[in-house]
Amino acid sequence: MTQGFDTLAIHAGTAPDTATGARQVPIYQTTAYVFRDSDHAAKLFNLQEVGYIYSRLTNPTVMALANRVAALEGGAGAVACSSGHAAQLMALFPLMQPGCNVVASTRLYGGTVQQFTNTIRKFGWSAKLVDFDDPKAIAAAIDDNTRALFCETICNPGGAISDLDAIARIADHAGLPLIVDNTTATPWLCRPIEHGATIVVHSATKYLTGNGTVTGGVVVDSGKFDWSASGKFPSLSEPEPAYHGLQFHAALGAMAFTFHSIAVGLRDLGMTMNPQGAHYTLMGIETLSLRMQRHVENAQIVAEWLEQDPRVEYVSYPGLKSSPYHHLAKMIVPKGAGALFTFAMKGGYEACVKFVDNLKLFSHVANLGDTRSLVIHSASTTHRQLSDEQRAAAGALPNVVRLSIGIEDVKDLIEDLNQAMTVATA
């Protein structure tokens, strides 16, 4: 029987604890697990039997979270890890070799642009950042060494919507996986696998947990990509020297990527999620749809109010009819355009800084997706390390403020925005 989203958000990946009957998922605060005997241990290490070896690899609480997010995204399997940035590296790790590249959107979170532009070069990888609104530019950037395409569903901070179906067709034509960061949309607004994505990544730090208490990430694999078709993904299709010559795709089929991420990725990179963090995120996901509905409703009202204010130059929110992404939002995120967007203030950089400093209800933090409404001036913080051109491409201009709209009473949010704007533009 196919279960609905809300049912999966509460029940997927979990069952009453077999030892105690505990209804909520216990926090398994343990490093290691006792093997039944030597044969049992050997089968676990050979991936002939699913179980628990060491909590850097797998933990029952963390696995429950991974399975729940996989169910919500419609994936074959998932792996939870220590942060959203870790999830991005985990997604690329089984695919890349020195000399390989990923073609990525210019409209990405500033930290992701930094990670792709500089940090991954230390692995011998590289990234080509192109305008993902231009299908021809995406196709032209792909070469023989490209191993994946990467974009965000709702782009941070500017709120642009990626045409996932069109991008997936380009990826399919090139025989490449499409990796989609679905953090700002969540599976309640969009399930990228249904639009052709191969792999979905999340910063569980944001809406999945929903209350600013956890740093975590999740990588979900669709299980639909043929890793053996082209010879471009030897870690999955050929004998893997990092795991006694196991051919993951031949042995594990649709679960090849997930098991490689656990058995090799988590084992060697060590970007493990802690069980208490997984527990908090599991509890957060139980109310994901309820929260997202209010997030989106509030964001729409606030964006419409801002657009009518003469102190505002423009609002970049796909839920507005004035947005160039409004039509895409109706197709990609029909239940709402998310709760993260930017707006430009008259008065430029100085007015933005004064506005942020005078907000009382909005919290000035480097985060998003909290139940609380949050604000940040991206040009001076999250996107500060980027060039002027990169900031412009990402939608983080000097006169632009990013809002993450929470689930408070919307009239209180508007009152706070109004009083701070009055001070900033006086």
Domain final residue, candidates 235, 252, 284: 284
Question: pLDDT of 314-342, one tens digit each?
Answer: 999 999 999 999 999 999 999 999 999 99
Contact between residue 260 and residue 199 where contact means Cβ atoms under 8 Å apart: no
Instruction: Give the rounded percent of residues in the chain with a pLDDT score beyond 90.
Output: 86
Per-residue CA distances from 131 to 104, 137, 273, 319 (Å): 8, 7, 33, 21
pLDDT of residue 150: 98
Residues 173 and 318 in one domain: no
Number of folded domains that form the chain: 2
Q: Tell which residue, 322, 300, 310, has the closest CA to residue 403.
A: 300
* Last residue of one domain, picked from the residues 251, 284, 317: 284
Question: Does 271 share its domain with 151?
Answer: yes
Domain boundary among 243, 261, 284: 284
Q: Is the pLDDT of residue 307 over 70?
A: yes
Burial string for 55-71 (b: 16+ CB within 10 Å, else e) reads bbbbbbbbbbbbbbbbb
Average pLDDT over residues 70-95: 98
The tokens for 111 are: 């930290």
pLDDT digits (tens, 9 = 90+) for 96-150: 999 999 999 999 988 899 999 999 999 999 999 999 999 999 999 999 999 999 9
pLDDT of residue 385: 62
Whether residues 94 and 204 fall in one domain = yes
Give the sheet arrangement for strand 77-81, strand by strand. Answer: 77-81, 217-221, 199-203, 178-181, 146-152, 101-105, 126-130
Same domain as 239, residue 111: yes
Q: Which among 278, 314, 299, 319 is positioned nearest to 405, based on CA atoms?
A: 299
Q: DSSP letter at 160?
A: P
Give the model's pLDDT for residue 349: 85
Q: Give the per-residue pLDDT at 110.
A: 84
Cα–Cα distance between 286 and 281 in angstroms, integer? Answer: 9
Task: Decide: helix, strand or coil at residue 417.
Answer: helix
Task: Tell me: do 257 and 279 sit in the same domain.
Answer: yes
Mean pLDDT of 171-180: 98
299 and 261 housed in the same domain: no
Q: How many CB atoms lie within 10 A of CB 51?
A: 13
Task: Tell me: do 278 and 306 sit in the same domain.
Answer: no
Does 1 score more than 80 pLDDT?
no
Mean pLDDT of 359-376: 95
320 and 412 part of one domain: yes
What's the pLDDT score for residue 386?
61
Q: What are 138-166's pLDDT values in tens digits?
A: 999 999 999 999 999 999 988 899 999 99
Give me the chain's average pLDDT, please: 94
Do residue 277 and residue 345 come from a single domain?
no
Taking alpha carbons only, the member of 6, 5, 107 closest to residue 318 is 107
138 lies in which domain range?
5-284
In this structure, the answer to whether residues 254 and 300 fall within a common structural domain is: no
User: Quick one: 311 and 212 in the same domain?
Assistant: no
418's CB contacts (< 8 A; 6+ apart) are none
Query: What CA–CA distance (Å, rounded) separates 150 from 106?
Result: 10
Query: Of the candidates 23, 27, 20, 28, which has an alpha carbon nearest to the alpha carbon of residue 11?
Result: 23
Q: Strands 363-364 and 77-81, how do they pair?
A: unpaired
In this structure, the answer to whether residues 210 and 331 fall within a common structural domain is: no
- pTM score: 0.94
Torsion, CA 392, CA 398, CA 400, CA 404, rounded to 10: 90
Q: pLDDT-based confidence at 377, cuts 50/70/90? A: confident
DSSP letter assigned to residue 264: I
The tokens describing 158, both together, are 């500017």
* CATH code for position 274: 3.40.640.10
Model pLDDT, residue 20: 84
Residue 182 scores a pLDDT above 80? yes
- Domain of 308, CATH number, reads 3.90.1150.10
Mean pLDDT, residues 261-276: 96
| Secondary structure of residue 345 in the 3-state scheme | strand
